[in-house]
Structure 1
Amino acid sequence: MSATTQYFIIIILYFVAMLGVGFIFNRKVSSDMDYFLAKDKLGPAAIGFSFSATQMSGSTYLGAVGQCKVLGYNFIPAAIASASAPWFSYILVGDRMRKVSSRLKSVTLSDVFEARYGKSSSLISVAIIIIASIPMIAAQLKAAANSFEVLLGIPYWAGLLVFGGIVILYTVLGGMFAVAWTDLIQGIIMIVGFAILAPVAVSAAGGFSQMHAAYAQINPAGMGFTGVMPLLWVVSGFWVYGFFQIGGSPASTTRFLITSDDKTLKKALVYSVGFQSFIYICFTLIAIAAGVLLPALENTDMTVPMLMQNLLPPIVGGIVLAAALGAMMSTIDSILLMTGSLVTNNIYVKMMHGESNSKKGLTISRVVTLVIGLLGLVVAINPPASVLWIVTISFSLMASAFTFPLMLGLWWPKCTKAAGTAGIIGGAVACVFWYVMGYVQFQSFSNWPLGIWPAIFGGVVSLIICVVVSLFTKKPSQEVIDVFFDDILIKD
């Protein structure tokens, strides 16, 4: 049996299983609230793995491993921050969002913005998320199609249609039930995949000590936390991949709306941190080993596929490939569901006065999710070259726009309606401006003035705007204060 045939068998079985989950949970969905949130119907393992699997997209398995191969330990602070991202998100916004969303019966992050800052902030947030999300979907689809092309010899367009069609179909069928349970399965496969590849790659590179000695000769600047990139770039990367996940990954943040039970959310956090910590430890070992084993590889996005092809038997390689595909699928399905809920709930229901929690509302939800998935497929036909930087730009835009307006909205009663809306707009504009400045100076989207990441620059601008505008505009109404702060304010 040829290697290609063995790869095909593993991947076909994997795809059939994912579709099976979609069909099984199709029966459990009776309303659009079930479809988008499965409110209080998921356990901590499903919520925790779904939170993390959504964050760890194809950029983790492909783009980020390749980038770490080039940058060495300069990239490690970002990896450490990524593993700690669930802590940042839960402590700073998670529990507050859980409480507030239960009072508001929120379906989306934009519902929270609307209740706190008004309809204009909701519509602006919807627009920013959709603009940023479609390229992210396209990036994951591109990564999958490239992997099929390299490992299975399938034409790019065919891999794109097969992979995209399957993930769109099970998401459309099963909604949040299917998304969370497939994320759990995919997360377990991701752990198995990296648990296999990491020790094999380190061994092939000569063992831990010899691997580092060889890497130091190939890339001496990459052996410290700084050297390849400026210090501010490294420090900014830590904050971006950790703290700024609060606003930069709204598909993950939406998981805080799923349960109204604090104990469930805390247990989910444990699953999430454990999962991400394991992945990023293995991630680092694989990247450094790849620097030794594949020093001349030009397309760094293909680092993991090439290691699989060179080091693993096809059946085992098929499991690792399934893990990589799982990382891509878990991000696509969550983004699809999130954008579908935004269009359905915040535009169709609230602006067009459509029906909610009905068969018609559920049908609209599925149609919208399908259309957004197809748009992602169209964009993926001819996307930019690097998976990592497509995802990073989209992430930075949302992180700049949402991080501080969301945090201040949940924790600072004096943050005003005008300030929140202005902070969202100002953060997004500042982020785009900083990317433009970086491109003008370096002709690159991965280098920026002073080494400061656009998400940091945009986020700080957003924070300043929120604080300054709050000092000069009308205070929030008592109704808003009661909904958002009645548990942390002592009333006279």
Structure 2
Amino acid sequence: MIIAAVFIAYLILMLIIGAAEYRKSRGLLDYYLAGKGLGVTLVSFSFFATYFSTSAFLGGGGFGFVAGFQWSAFLTFFHILFAILAWLLVAPKLKQLAEETSSLTIPEIFGSRFGKEVQMLSSAVIIVFFSFYMVSIYKGAGNLLQVMLDIPYTQGLIITALIVMLYTSIGGFRAVVYTDLIQGLLTFAGGIVLFASIIYFLGGFEAIEKLAETQIFAGKGELLFEVGKLAPPPIMKAGMVIPFILSLTFAISIAQLSSPQLVIRFVAAKNEDVLKKGALLTPLIIGVFAICVFSIGPLGWLIIPQFDDPVKYLKDSDLVVPVIAMKVLPEGINALLLTAIIAAAMSTVNSLLHMMATSLTKDILNRENIALTRAMVFALALVPLYIALKPPEIIVGIVGVSFSVITSVFLVPLLAMLYAKPSRYSIFASMIVALVASVVWYFVYYRVYWIYPVVPGLIASALTYTIFEKFFK
């Protein structure tokens, strides 16, 4: 009862914010980029909340139950590293370029430099692969509400989608960033509270020593502390644990450098001083959150066996974190924590929907129409919602593939655009080759070598760019 009440109150608050920001919107610039007037707290927490969704809380937190602390360590390291690089290398120059070209979307920035074809390709990649990414977030929210409110998975999906569609379409980017602030604070606090509560439940950090002697699916718990020993059984059998773990954690984390829904926050910042302060604040909150949340999964072997058969969670590790939260926290606190995880989902979905809707309306349809953009928010939310009814993989798998393609397509062209003077042919060719290489690798070679598509995708992109710059410029 308490959980339902807290959750309903949260949903009402999000709708109120959406309505309030609708009243404050004063035209296209406000709806697309909140008037380019965001301060450091809004930009940093919007970046954080958009990046960390249920894929972090449930996927990132839960997968350590299968892969151990090697997963936690590599994922945390890469998150902090690429957060720092994003704010130092990409933020200031992208902000400057957006001002020079008067662009409102990431594809429009590319289009202003390299032509309509590049702009259209960028938009198409955003719409298709963000839709795929949204499947993972819907799945996480559906799983969580299934556990949290004891409702069917499908109902959880619909509740999540409907609320986000309403406040995103009504309030635009202003509603997105202001709800992101609240959702980001909830997500950040929720991660710390859950980790601290688990340690308290286990009797302190000394309990971790017991983990080494605990029986897990592959033998003794000491395997949880070793590199290259644990992963899903097919990967262990193939002897590809380290390439799998490194490529997946790399794929998820490097997305901070070039994912359009993240870097557009730099464009919406008030000035360069905001970006300088954000370069300190954002990696700090990302680092603290990552250390707490990504360490939860392995500790599940000390908790879940007390209440349930742990083997069944190996097939769907996305359920590990919500089950732990329900068991170790008192009802009032777990209500806030589980609402925080839902907030993490909604804060990412709203940004993806807004990015997809603005890309479709402005970059592909070439219309500057707020009413049409609002309609696109609803339309674009439905396809991933339908796919999420029977999702193809667990969360970390879906996120890894989506981020692999997005990063492979955008990273090299973005850095080249900011730090060189590339030709349109080099940019277009590198995007096409990266897209094809990533998709082909996933469907043909991934289950042979267990290396995520971001690695061959980026290699293909960089090689293509270099060749075209040398011979076809």
Q: TM-score, normalised by structure 2?
A: 0.91
Aligned position for 2:146: 149
1:41 to 37, 40, 44: 37
The answer to whether structure 1 residue 366 and structure 2 residue 374 are counterparts is yes
Counterpart CA distance in 2 for 1:28 and 1:175 is 11
Q: In 2, distance between residues paired with 1:21 and 1:244?
A: 29
Contact between 2:254 and 2:407, CA under 8 Å: does it hold in 1?
no
The percentage of aligned residue pairs carrying the same residue is 28
Task: Please give the per-residue CA displacement for 1:147-181, whole angstroms capped at 9, x wherever unaligned.
Answer: 11122111222222222111111111111111111
Alignment check: 8 A CA contact 1:190 1:324 kept = yes
Instruction: Name the counterpart of 1:473.
Output: 472
> Which residue is 1:223 aligned to?
225
Among candidates 326, 339, 345, match of residue 343 of structure 2: 326
Quote the Cα distance in structure 1 between the aligned partners of 2:209 and 2:471: 56
- Matching of residue 305 in structure 1 with residue 322 in structure 2: yes
Q: Distance in 2 between matches of 1:142 and 1:233?
A: 23
| Residue 344 of structure 1, aligned match among 361, 382, 396 | 361
Q: How many residues align?
A: 451
Q: Which position in structure 2 is the counterpart of 1:204? A: 201
Which residue of 297, 303, 308 corresponds with 1:293?
303
Kept after mapping to 1: 8 A contact 2:60/2:294? no
Task: Tell me the amino acid that sits aligned with residue 427 of structure 1.
Answer: A
Q: In 1, Cα distance between the equivalents of 2:270 and 2:145?
A: 41
1:160 aligns with 2:177: no
Residue 427 of structure 2 is matched in structure 1 by 420
Stretch of structure 1 that moved more, 44-53 or 214-223? 214-223
Match of 2:235 in 1: none
* Equivalent residue letter for 2:326: Q
Of 328-337 and 195-204, more deviation after overlay is shown by: 195-204
Structure 1 residues 312 and 260: CA distance shift in structure 2, 3 A: closer
Per the alignment, do residues 265 and 88 of structure 1 end up closer, same or farther by CA in structure 2, a change over 3 Å counting? Answer: same
Report the more deviating stretch, 236-245 or 189-198.
236-245
Equivalent position to 2:23, from 18, 21, 27: 27
Residues 25 and 178, structure 1, Cα contact 8 Å, conserved in 2: yes
Within-5 A mapping of 1:389-468:
389-413=397-421, 415-441=422-448, 449=449, 452-468=451-467
Displacement of 1:41 in angstroms is 2.3
Cα 1:385–1:430 change in 2 (3 A) is closer
- Provide the secondary structure at the position in 1 that maps to 2:254: coil
Q: Distance in 1 between matches of 2:197 and 2:451?
A: 36
Q: Tell which deviates more after alignment, 392-401 or 265-274.
A: 265-274
Q: 1:13 aligns with which of 6, 9, 14?
A: 9
Q: Distance in 1 between matches of 2:328 and 2:120?
A: 49
Tell me, in whole angstroms, the C-alpha distance in 2 between the residues paired with 1:424 and 1:260: 30
Contact 2:39 2:270 in 1 (8 A): no
TM-score by structure 1 length?
A: 0.87
Instruction: Let me know the Cα RMSD of the aligned residues.
Output: 1.8
* Structure 2 unmatched runs, 5+: 231-239, 305-309
1:265 corresponds to 2:264: no
Corresponding residue for residue 262 of structure 2: 252
1:277 aligns with 2:253: no
What is the SS of the residue equivalent to 2:295? helix
* Deviation at residue 118 of structure 1 after TM alignment: 1.7
Q: Which residue of 1 aligns with 2:307?
A: none
Secondary structure of the corresponding residue to residue 139 of structure 2: helix
Secondary structure of the equivalent of 2:55?
helix
Is this contact kept in 2: 1:106–1:257, CA < 8 A?
A: no
Matched-pair contact (CA < 8 Å) for 1:173–1:366? yes
Distance 1:230 1:278 in 2: 26
Shift of 1:440: 4.8
Q: 1:340 to 1:208 in 2, by over 3 A?
A: same
Within 5 A, what are the aligned runs for 1:89-238?
89-215=86-212, 217=214, 218=216, 219-228=221-230, 230-237=241-248
Note the residue ranges of structure 1 that are not aligned, 5 or more in a row: 442-448, 475-492
Contact 1:85–1:241 (CA under 8 A) maintained in structure 2: no
Give the match for residue 237 of structure 2. none
SS across alignment from 2:438: helix
- TM superposition shift of 1:145: 1.5
CA distance in 2 between partners of 1:244 and 1:457 (Å): 15
User: Cα distance, 1:311 vs. partner?
Assistant: 1.1
Partners in 2 of 1:215 and 1:126 — Cα distance?
Answer: 49
